[in-house]
Structure 1
Amino acid sequence: MPDRPEIVCICGSTRFMDEMRAANRDLTFAGVIVVAPGEADELITNEQKAALGALHLRKIDLADRVLVVNPGGYIGESTSREIAYAHATGKPISFTDPV
């Protein structure tokens, strides 16, 4: 038995928050520690959006692997940046839908 549960960072477009919540629930019930994007409404400033993006990269640093929630294969600009960061740091990446 491992010393600690696996840590998974969920990435994906905020348009898929329902799907990310479902993935979070499923992983949590499977005994996984989940870190996920913070929920923010559309009224955040560009500065706040940049700060949240930087914070999410730190979440990737904490994770053992990354799960990209990408219904229909959709990957936006921010998620693409997160995937590139995860690749650069050697994190395994999986996707909910084919890309």
Structure 2
Amino acid sequence: MPDRPEIVCICGSTRFVAEMSAANRELTFAGVIVVAPGVFLRTEGHEADELITEEQKTVLDALHLRKIDLADRVLVVNPGGYIGESTSREIAYAHATGKPISFTDPI
């Protein structure tokens, strides 16, 4: 038995709140430690936490890269194959640091 459970970092557009929550729940019930976005942006047609400033978004983006550092692997939540600019940057970072990456939908 490993010393600790696997750690997975969920990445993806924060517009996919419900899909990220479902992935988090599934992984957690499977005994995985999950790190994921902690703040979800309010977007048209989707209720989320709050509106944030550009400065706050910059801080959150940098923080998410540190979450990738903590993880054993990355799960990209990408319904319909969607991958935005921030998620592309996170995937590139995870790849550069040697983290295995999987996707919920084909890209």
TM range (shorter): over 0.9
Q: Which runs of 5+ in 1 are unaligned?
A: none
SS in 2 for 1:15: coil
Whole-angstrom distance in 2 between the partners of 1:12 and 1:45: 19
SS in 2 for 1:2: coil
- Establish whether residue 62 from structure 1 lines up as the match of residue 70 from structure 2: yes
Give the match for residue 26 of structure 1: 26
1:16-73 deviations in Å (ceiling 9; x for gaps): 0110000000000000000001x96452000000000000000000000000000000
- The answer to which of 40-49 and 81-90 deviates more is 40-49
TM value normalised by structure 1: 0.95
Whole-angstrom distance in 2 between the partners of 1:40 and 1:55: 19
SS in 2 for 1:14: coil
SS in 1 for 2:26: helix
More helix by share: 1
Whole-angstrom distance in 2 between the partners of 1:42 and 1:78: 18
Give the match for residue 101 of structure 2: 93
Give the match for residue 6 of structure 1: 6
Whole-angstrom distance in 2 between the partners of 1:13 and 1:55: 15
- 1:7 CA displacement: 0.1
SS in 1 for 2:27: helix
Whole-angstrom distance in 1 between the partners of 2:31 and 2:52: 33
Stretches of 4+ aligned residues off by more than 2 angstroms: 39-42
TM value normalised by structure 2: 0.88
SS in 1 for 2:50: coil
SS in 2 for 1:4: coil
Structure 2 CA distance for partners of 1:61 and 1:40, relative to 1, 3 Å: farther
